[in-house]
Structure 1
């Protein structure tokens, strides 16, 4: 029976019939509870903030101390069934009903009175229990609703890829058979050799996928156990367990690496009896690529990617002719395909050889303000003419958001597949950054802690990017600054250029970030790119004979694509 419940029973069963003259001052056969101050009269009240029991005579004396706020209630109302209070480590006969915030440990009333926690903030342990329980509940909810389902989806995708692997390798084997039939007996040995090589590559591919499956399955098992443990802790209502609980969610927010297999094709030539082995067609080396797992949004830090040092001399590896005359923006679809937009209503998907793969015209007929590619590979564009944010899926334009009183500017897609959009008010007096999940506004970032505007209000081009540490980086051309806030919208720093900018002042336009959390911004008038670390410290420039660089993006291999404004070119640059 808990202490509080026993107190309640003592007060309600024969409490008034026991003469105080026949009782020991502090105990009796019925354990009548006495006032903590006078220690002679049965208690009737309880002061919650002071955690002290009082008789009716001592209530007035107690509350006369005006240095504290008192809340005296009938003792019976104070009695409630309580959680399993931990026993005090210092005083074995006491239970800890309080919590020392500075020492972060449960304490009993004797601990407090001993003076060891003098000056420390003391709280009710029930409040601490409530806070810890809420934290556990949030962890469990994130594991159940966000993290574990992503692992399930990954596991399902790997199984699908294994099934497709069987089909593709089956076709590859059939191709080898057909080529072998044309060459008859002379080619039999080569056919068997190629089929053996195919089977070996297939085995290695399957081994790689099975290993990936085992890793994901192991993580899922760990997640299940953690979720089960959290449920047990929450159900037990045990303060000791909740106080010592340490969250492991951050370990699982970065998903395991995803293995991608590339099935080779069989290249064949016309039959030449003297060169059968060469003409049959060779298989390229086995290729198994592993992509870094997606990172789900969280306030906690995630594991760092492999370090890629900056090259001393960045180099241009490809140049794409876009066909535009000026104002060129760019967004990567893959390592060799980029979406571009310029001075007209047409958005173009081009490869590294400048070949036009797809073109889409804006719904309004006006030029797109900015473009971005979502994590699903769809194109998003903002339209300043009709105040819309649009999604292009399967070549069909869907207007996701229509703004009232605001005009959209720069747009980017976040790690959590949200959209971040810069926008100006219709009267050009205000600017802000808004986060959308689908068509729902989740966050608006406009002022700093002192209520001052974060961004310039004059109509100008503002581009933005989300960094790997979840900072939001905005290139504010009018302010001549890169403005960086954290995930909550709190200002971290402003970068206004390097002292070496002597010819022209810092003139930022396009901005992007890479796997190292570098911030790269186009310095338009100075014909170069600034590379900063995640804390705004200047690292170096990229020149590469750039002329009026405007739009920027980085692909999954950290290749930089720079769209030049007047030359209608997009340059692919290796800088890491």
Structure 2
């Protein structure tokens, strides 16, 4: 506490004379005054009703607002219906006839009380929370700096690894070139040695004949053997055939896809369920894809006969190869252009896979409903990546970020949920809508079809509810699609396989109507694809937006062009 005898204190002075200590205050003009200056202040503007009070009682006199409609009148009342201050002339006018009017000081007290409560809430609750949020954002920014640094380091390391692999490949090819060269040079050298020997023999023959021709010794003449006919048969001409180096052709951004890609970064708000995309884009999404229009008449490009009894699932490995599976333990890789079998994989459990997909790295991944696992196939070796307890996997999908989405059902078949995994770690569970109701019902079949759209929506084909259920990246329900009428065969919508394309279209098999529905990313119907489909089941698209459809009955895969 300050000692008034030894400390300097600020003293409030009169606003007029600026020397005397303030004693009074004009609440009308908000001016501090000493007693001697009160009269001078009032006389300077006699048009005002100066409310001069003791300084300690300053601001105790209410300053009523002037009326906008009646000069020199003060608004001492308040019209609740019009929500404005009014004077007594306003109240008497027809404009406020029948309106509820209150004393303005009562309204002021109510507002001040409200301000006090809200000020208290701001000071004691909201302001500290915002400080905590600011601190949390700062921490996230620091963490983000580190994680992006780690990401850059991982990309650099991956590039170095690829360089080493390329160096090994170059060394191997150059060794093969040297080996081919040495083999051909050895063959040619042997041929040259034989020719040089013949040259030497021919020269000896010529010399012998010369001697015999000039001798009169008949014995020597008849001892010379003529071999000219032997040399008339000239040796074969050996022409070396050089190998050609045929560089692998890389079209467009294929090198980027082979190297790897970044998913789009995003900022999401779990509270409101909206997603605010950043301007950072991955190489795949660095520029918007070219706009492609739907063909008036989709056309079948080719048909692949798999030789299966029944054909269920399918996943594109590339624009030229496609994985297929049926109701047994084998998953087969087919050449799209040749229609030939390239490879066959047998599941680890010996049971049929409930779903298959291809990762961003080009590895086959499948779910095994029977032993509760999700497995990945690398270099023809099967590796278990997820094992569930009390749940069984129905379907799997690889996302643009490299995560795995797995749709699963509880052992009692009463619950269905969709889980996002990053490696072995569970990151997100999607099961209920905002009202706590299940988004998905248990399936009748082993397979569950779903996919991630280009805008990162998750689209699930729910054959129990006969609907397509679409949620955003945060798991919030966007819409349900239940078909469009009239359908080609006028039968109820029966969704099975589902896929998306570069235009964010959603394509859905309608088993009952032997067709494929195309809807936009917001669920608006665009058109049907028929193309003579019979019992369609599974769907996928390649990077050129060609559509592949499996046909359950005849075990064929149809390749269909539907975009320009």
TM-score, normalization by structure 1: 0.59
Partner of 1:330, secondary structure, is: strand
Which residue number corresponds to residue 37 of structure 2?
Answer: none
1:131 aligns with 2:133: yes
Which residue number corresponds to residue 90 of structure 2?
Answer: none
Instruction: Give the Å deviation of 1:166.
Output: 6.0
Contact 1:465 1:512 in 2 (8 A): yes
- Structure 2, gaps ≥5 residues long: 15-53, 58-108, 186-236, 268-275
Structure 2 counterparts to residues 267-282 of structure 1, below 5 A: none
Structure 2 counterparts to residues 418-497 of structure 1, below 5 A: 418-457=403-442, 459-460=444-445, 461-497=447-483
Which residue number corresponds to residue 365 of structure 1?
Answer: 350
Change (3 A) 1:311 1:285: farther
Change (3 A) 1:546 1:40: same
Instruction: Give the Å deviation of 1:525.
Output: 2.0
* Matching residue within 286, 295, 298 for 2:263: 295
- Aligned-partner Cα distance in 2 for 1:401–1:342: 22
Query: For residues 256-303 of structure 1, what are the alpha-carbon distances to aligned partners after superposition, in whole Å with 9 as ceiling and x for unaligned?
Result: xxxxxxxxxxxxxxx998xx9xx8677769844324643145344355
Which residue number corresponds to residue 154 of structure 1?
Answer: 155
Question: How large is the Cα RMSD of the aligned pairs?
Answer: 4.3
Contact 2:535 2:553 in 1 (8 A): yes
Structure 2 counterparts to residues 313-332 of structure 1, below 5 A: 313-332=297-316
Change (3 A) 1:22 1:410: closer
Contact 2:443 2:462 in 1 (8 A): no
Which residue number corresponds to residue 261 of structure 1?
Answer: none
Contact 1:297 1:470 in 2 (8 A): no
- Aligned-partner Cα distance in 2 for 1:287–1:357: 21
Partner of 1:366, secondary structure, is: coil
Contact 1:510 1:551 in 2 (8 A): yes
* Matching residue within 328, 341, 349 for 2:325: 341
- Aligned-partner Cα distance in 1 for 2:301–2:557: 11
Change (3 A) 1:156 1:363: closer
Partner of 1:575, secondary structure, is: strand
Change (3 A) 1:39 1:510: farther
Instruction: Give the Å deviation of 1:133.
Output: 4.8
- Aligned-partner Cα distance in 1 for 2:304–2:328: 18
Contact 1:428 1:459 in 2 (8 A): no
TM-score, normalization by structure 2: 0.60
1:414 aligns with 2:414: no
Structure 2 counterparts to residues 29-40 of structure 1, below 5 A: none
Structure 2 counterparts to residues 46-125 of structure 1, below 5 A: 67=114, 124=127
- Aligned-partner Cα distance in 2 for 1:160–1:404: 37
* Bigger radius of gyration among the two: 2
Partner of 2:559, secondary structure, is: strand
Which residue number corresponds to residue 290 of structure 2?
Answer: 307
Partner of 2:263, secondary structure, is: coil
Change (3 A) 1:21 1:286: closer
Instruction: Give the Å deviation of 1:416.
Output: 2.1
Number of aligned residue pairs: 401
Query: For residues 487-533 of structure 1, what are the alpha-carbon distances to aligned partners after superposition, in whole Å with 9 as ceiling and x for unaligned?
Result: 11110011111223162121111111223222111112222222222
Partner of 2:392, secondary structure, is: strand
- Structure 1, gaps ≥5 residues long: 1-13, 28-37, 42-61, 74-97, 100-121, 185-270
Instruction: Give the Å deviation of 1:472.
Output: 0.7
Instruction: Give the Å deviation of 1:24.
Output: 0.9
Contact 1:345 1:366 in 2 (8 A): yes
1:381 aligns with 2:349: no
Change (3 A) 1:515 1:127: same
Query: For residues 378-420 of structure 1, what are the alpha-carbon distances to aligned partners after superposition, in whole Å with 9 as ceiling and x for unaligned?
Result: 2222222233322333333333333333322121111222221
Change (3 A) 1:360 1:437: same
- Aligned-partner Cα distance in 1 for 2:547–2:369: 27
